[in-house]
Amino acid sequence: MRGASQEVNEWIDGFLFLANRSILDFLNTKPVLADGPTELLSSFRDLERWLIASGMVTSPKTKAIVRSWRNSADATAFLEQLVAFRERLRKAVIQIESGSSPADAFLAEVNLLLLQYPRHTSLRKRNGKVIRETLFEPRKPSDLWAPIVDATVDLLTEAESSRIRKCESCIVHFFDTSKKGSRRWCSMNICGNRLKVAAYQRRKREGNAMAN
């Protein structure tokens, strides 16, 4: 969770992290920047950077495995499928945001991925106590589905789905963790200030019009 440091830490290694949910940050890998919609995952190397920045890939061993796939055809094919999935996920998220539920076909797709790429558990000892850990040792690029699908399941089953929201001014999605649940913008830096300035100028114009 990136609480207080959120405003300064919105970009990590060229990616937006302001959604409070990694799968929504994943959705935001195609933001609209000054030059229009921008694909931030245009190569497997980009995905590798995103997986590390998001914390989905952490151990040196896994990082090395993922790095070794950079030039593989399997990795390129996986990225293509993943980006297509991201757009179907976008549709599902927009449906949730509008108060309805995702299409059955999308749930069926996620269920199939869950069967094919299950999360494995392993046991470890820490300070003499046995703890449960998620085992993530990808052996091929498509094994990277596991953390993506896991995070997708968390989002789809989110109890406070009304906190899943889209920025009022751009296409960035986020999960509102504010106390009041009144977050409206992706971020103060990106859209908030711009909208505040616009509202101020509008008020000023209207004020001037009334004065005349």
Which residues of the shown chain bind Zn ion in the complex (CB under 5 A)?
Answer: 167, 169-170, 172, 186, 191
To the nearest whole angstrom, how small is the minimum distance from the Cβ of residue 195 to Zn ion?
9
Q: State residue 2 phi and psi, 5-degree precision.
A: -115, 90
In the bound state with Zn ion, the residue whose beta carbon lies nearer, of 87 and 168, is 168
Contact call for residues 194 and 188 (beta carbons, < 8 A): no
H or E element, residue 63: helix 60-67
To the nearest whole angstrom, how small is the minimum distance from the Cβ of residue 43 to Zn ion?
26
Q: In a 3-state reduction of DSSP, which class is residue 102?
A: coil
Amino acid at 11: W
For 177, the token pair is: 């963790």
In the bound state with Zn ion, the residue whose beta carbon lies nearer, of 28 and 69, is 28
To the nearest whole angstrom, how small is the minimum distance from the Cβ of residue 133 to Zn ion?
36
Query: Which of 3, 1, 17 shows the shortest CA–CA distance to 53?
Result: 17
In the bound state with Zn ion, the residue whose beta carbon lies nearer, of 28 and 54, is 28
In the bound state with Zn ion, the residue whose beta carbon lies nearer, of 59 and 193, is 193
Q: State residue 68 phi and psi, 5-degree precision.
A: -70, -10
Task: From residue 79, give the alpha-carbon distance in Å to each of 12, 72, 137.
Answer: 20, 11, 18
In the bound state with Zn ion, the residue whose beta carbon lies nearer, of 12 and 170, is 170
To the nearest whole angstrom, how small is the minimum distance from the Cβ of residue 32 to Zn ion?
9
To the nearest whole angstrom, how small is the minimum distance from the Cβ of residue 186 to Zn ion?
3
Contact call for residues 175 and 143 (beta carbons, < 8 A): no
